[in-house]
Amino acid sequence: MLDFSADELSAIRLSLRVAFWAMLGSLPFGVAVAMVLARSQFWGKSLIDGIVHLPLVMPPVVTGYLLLLLFGRQGPLGRFLDENFGIVFAFRWTGAALASAVMAFPLLVRAIRLSIEAVDRRLEEAAGTLGAGRVFVFLLVTLPLIAPGIVAGMVLAFARSLGEFGATITFVSNIPGVTRTLPSAIYALTQVPGGDSGALRLTLVSIVLSLIALIAADLLARGMARRLAGD
Amino acid sequence: MLEVDLEHRLGAFALDVHFRSGPGLTALFGRSGAGKTSVVNAIAGLLSPERARIAVDGAVLVDTERAIAVPAHRRRVGYVFQEARLFPHLTVRQNLLFGRWFAQRAPAAVPFDNVVELLGIAALLDRRPGRLSGGEKQRVAIGRALLANPRLLLMDEPLASLDGRRKDEILPYLETLRDQARIPIVYVSHAAAEVARLATTIVLLADGMVRAVGPVAEIMSRAGLYPLAGRFEAGAVLAVQVERHDSGYGLTELSGSFGRLTVPRLDLPVGAALRVRIRARDVILAASPPTAISTLNVLSGVIEAIVPIAEAALEVQLRLGDDHLLAHVTRRSGDALGLAPGRPVFALVKTVAIDRHSLGGRSHALDPDDELDS
């Protein structure tokens, strides 16, 4: 059961790598957007909020297609990044990570935003009277207090990325060893005769990985809650 | 020296506050909603006033006319909030040192160990604030503000959220702070007992305006404060010292400019200075010297003012030597005795409130919960 084929192993490894970088790469943007949405009032805020949440409600294939239009080799952003920074997303694992990041972004922002809104701003005021400027208040008070929310958001984003399929296959296709993540591999297996047992094995792997991520998140969150409670 | 000139609108509420205060503890005293917290918030920089000039020892914090508004984190104004507002993710030690790090360039820091010892929090240093008691939290908050090396310390009802025992736990520390730390303190309170015990100067606020400023004994013994300061026990504060002990009867004689007071024996050395508070309802007035009564304390004085405080009641302010005394009498008694300003009367004192934690040497005050019948 546990002796995976080279293809299966590559799909598992690729999925983990894609999910990891999708989570990490979107984190700074997620914190920044959550801060803006939680703390500022400006004209057009609802629109920003809507755009952030769009991937949650749009068909994933639409998101994937939009990414292809924007970040494909001929897309405006894709060409700019390729020519200036040598960064290519189209039909690479990086593209899978981008697609996963976009799809998971609403979950990440939501979790962080909720924790920012729960921060007692009077603590930030107190830090100000103790001599801390805005940057230090954020780094020394706000950030540690929202850490549980950030971790929760990261784990949600990681788990969501592990399961990303529609946008990924539309944007970067399903190339074995390059963009064939776990869901793509399972999909491919279900399309060929005799692939059922392989699909089932990878399905079990998916379930185990997701469970591990969720349990780890729970343990981390509890540990942090205990710290804040004074133990 | 603290200079505050402040005008600000908060909805329908207008704040128009002007006062100067010197070293020691300045109490901003008044009922809830009088604007006390807004004043300290403006001093701390948490509120941007419409028109203001605020300066501490000549350093201007706000001057709207010259468009000066030092940001809160550069004011070096310590703030102890009503709820301690400790950082839950940091240990007590890290909380205490939080401001220290930003105050490195400032001169004459208070030594960490001294503050920890002064506030009795050495045993708490490695704990997190979550499980500390209310009194412990408030002591840590005071230490945290002190260690940020402030030039002024603001305290916004630091005892309001604590029960009686916790209050007693903190009050001695506040007295020590006032007498030893050499940092001027602005202390917001609506509790007369706290103010009488701690204040050097009182700034009485009502409806957003300053109604009286002066030394604690003078303001507390002024008649007619009640409608301005809200529901509190009117009572005069007297500065006294221990004159002698009468071991045979277990009594102590206290002396002041008004004469002498006899109270049950105090565990204080002869010569010790303290403050006592005599509540207006514990004073009986007599038109002629009373004889054959059980009360030991009969003081003679002259009526300075009479203020009606209720339909049937009068508040009478007496002058006794350099001191003042307040008495509550019914309007009928007032008429029967012919009470009027300038008339000499005798005051019979039923109860003298004395702080049980008095340790001698320093100036101590009373606590109406700890009173001794005399």
Chain B residue with CA closest to A123: the answer is B85
Domain spanning B235-373, CATH architecture: Beta Barrel (2.40)
Which residues of chain B have a CB within 8 Å of the CB of A127? 87, 98
Q: Summarize pLDDT for A7-41 with one digit per residue, the tens.
A: 888 999 999 999 999 999 999 999 999 999 999 98
- Residues A159 and A214 sit within 8 Å (Cβ to Cβ): yes
- Residues B323 and B333 sit within 8 Å (Cβ to Cβ): no
Tokens standing for B281? Answer: 């309802």
Is the per-residue pLDDT at B237 higher than 50? yes
- B102 → closest Cβ in A131, A141, A228: A131
- Cα separation, A84 vs A74, whole angstroms: 14
- CA distances to A51, A61, A62 from A56, in Å: 10, 12, 11
Q: Summarize pLDDT for B175-234 with one digit per residue, the tens.
A: 888 888 788 999 998 887 788 888 889 999 988 899 889 888 788 777 777 666 655 667
* Among B40, B79, B85, the residue to mutate for chain A (most A Cβ within 10 A): B85
Is the per-residue pLDDT at B362 higher than 60? no
DSSP state at residue B34? S
- Cα separation, B356 vs B197, whole angstroms: 12
Q: Do B83 and A128 make contact, defined as CB atoms within 8 angstroms? A: no
Chain B residue with CA closest to A133: the answer is B73
- A129 → closest Cβ in B72, B89, B132: B72
- Cα separation, A153 vs A111, whole angstroms: 5
Residue B277's nearest CA partner among B316, B243, B323, B227 is B323
Q: Which domains does chain A have, with CATH numbers?
A: 6-229 (1.10.3720.10)
- B89 → closest Cβ in A122, A136, A228: A228
pLDDT bracket for residue B239 (50, 70, 90): confident
Judged by a CB distance cut-off of 8 A, whether residue A122 touches chain B is yes
pLDDT bracket for residue B363 (50, 70, 90): very low
- Residues B61 and B55 sit within 8 Å (Cβ to Cβ): yes
Please give the pLDDT value at position B232. Answer: 60
**Nearest 5°: CA angle at B222, between B220 and B225?**
80
Tokens standing for B307? Answer: 């203020």
String of DSSP letters for B153-215: EEEESTTTTS-HHHHHHHHHHHHHHHHHS---EEEEE--HHHHHHH-SEEEEEETTEEEEEEE
User: Three-state SS for B16?
Assistant: strand
Q: Which amino acid is at B309?
A: I
Q: Do domains B2-220 and B235-373 have the same CATH topology?
A: no
Q: Summarize pLDDT for B18-31 with one digit per residue, the tens.
A: 999 988 899 999 88
Length, in residues, of chain B:
374
Please give the pLDDT value at position A3. Answer: 75
Q: Which residues of A35-63 are buried (b: 16+ CB within 10 A; e: fewer)?
A: bbbbeeeeeeeeeebeebeebeeeebeeb
- A133 → closest Cβ in B73, B128, B131: B73
Q: Do B73 and A228 make contact, defined as CB atoms within 8 angstroms? A: no
- Residues A92 and A178 sit within 8 Å (Cβ to Cβ): yes
- Residues B28 and B40 sit within 8 Å (Cβ to Cβ): yes
CATH code linked to domain B2-220:
3.40.50.300
Q: Do B87 and A130 make contact, defined as CB atoms within 8 angstroms? A: no
Q: Which helix H or strand E contains B274, and what residues bound it? A: strand B273-279
Tokens standing for A108? Answer: 């990440």
Q: Summarize pLDDT for B96-108 with one digit per residue, the tens.
A: 999 888 876 655 5
pLDDT bracket for residue B7 (50, 70, 90): very high
Please give the pLDDT value at position B355. Answer: 47
pTM comes to: 0.78
Strand pairing report for B201-206 and B209-215: antiparallel
Please give the pLDDT value at position B364. Answer: 39
Judged by a CB distance cut-off of 8 A, whether residue A126 touches chain B is yes
Tokens standing for A20? Answer: 């990891």
**Nearest 5°: CA angle at A168, between A59 and A22?**
105
What is the number of other CB atoms lying within 10 angstroms of the CB of residue B355? 24
DSSP state at residue A140? I
* A227 Cα to chain B: minimum distance (Å): 7
Q: Do B89 and A227 make contact, defined as CB atoms within 8 angstroms? A: yes
- Residues B278 and B235 sit within 8 Å (Cβ to Cβ): yes
String of DSSP letters for A33-86: HHHHHHH---TTHHHHHHHHHHHHHS-HHHHHHHHHHHHSTTSHHHHHHHHHH-
Beta bridge partners of B313: B330
Q: Within 13 Å and on the Cβ side, how many CA atoms surround A139?
A: 6
- Residues A89 and A21 sit within 8 Å (Cβ to Cβ): no
- Cα separation, B314 vs B306, whole angstroms: 7
Please give the pLDDT value at position A146. Answer: 92
Is the per-residue pLDDT at B273 higher than 70? yes
Is the per-residue pLDDT at B358 higher than 90? no
Cα dihedral B62, B67, B71, B74 in deg (nearest 10): -70
Q: Where are the domains of chain B?
A: 2-220, 235-373
* B341 Cα to chain A: minimum distance (Å): 49
pLDDT bracket for residue B56 (50, 70, 90): very high
- Cα separation, A85 vs B372, whole angstroms: 84
- Cα separation, B282 vs A27, whole angstroms: 68
pLDDT, one tens digit for every residue, chain A (231 residues)? 567 888 888 999 999 999 999 999 999 999 999 999 999 988 889 999 999 999 999 999 999 999 999 998 888 888 888 888 888 888 889 999 999 999 999 999 999 999 999 999 999 999 999 999 999 999 999 999 999 899 989 998 999 999 899 999 999 988 888 889 999 999 999 998 988 888 999 999 999 998 998 888 888 878 887 777 655
- Cα separation, B102 vs A132, whole angstroms: 7
Chain A residue with CA closest to B147: the answer is A130
pLDDT bracket for residue B359 (50, 70, 90): very low
Q: Summarize pLDDT for B292-315 with one digit per residue, the tens.
A: 887 788 888 999 888 888 788 888
Longest dimension (CA), chain B: 69
Which residues of chain A have a CB within 8 Å of the CB of B94? none
DSSP state at residue A141? I
Q: Do A130 and B130 make contact, defined as CB atoms within 8 angstroms? A: no
Please give the pLDDT value at position A231. Answer: 52
Complex ipTM more than 0.90, yes or no:
no
The number of C-beta contacts closer than 8 angstroms across A and B is 83
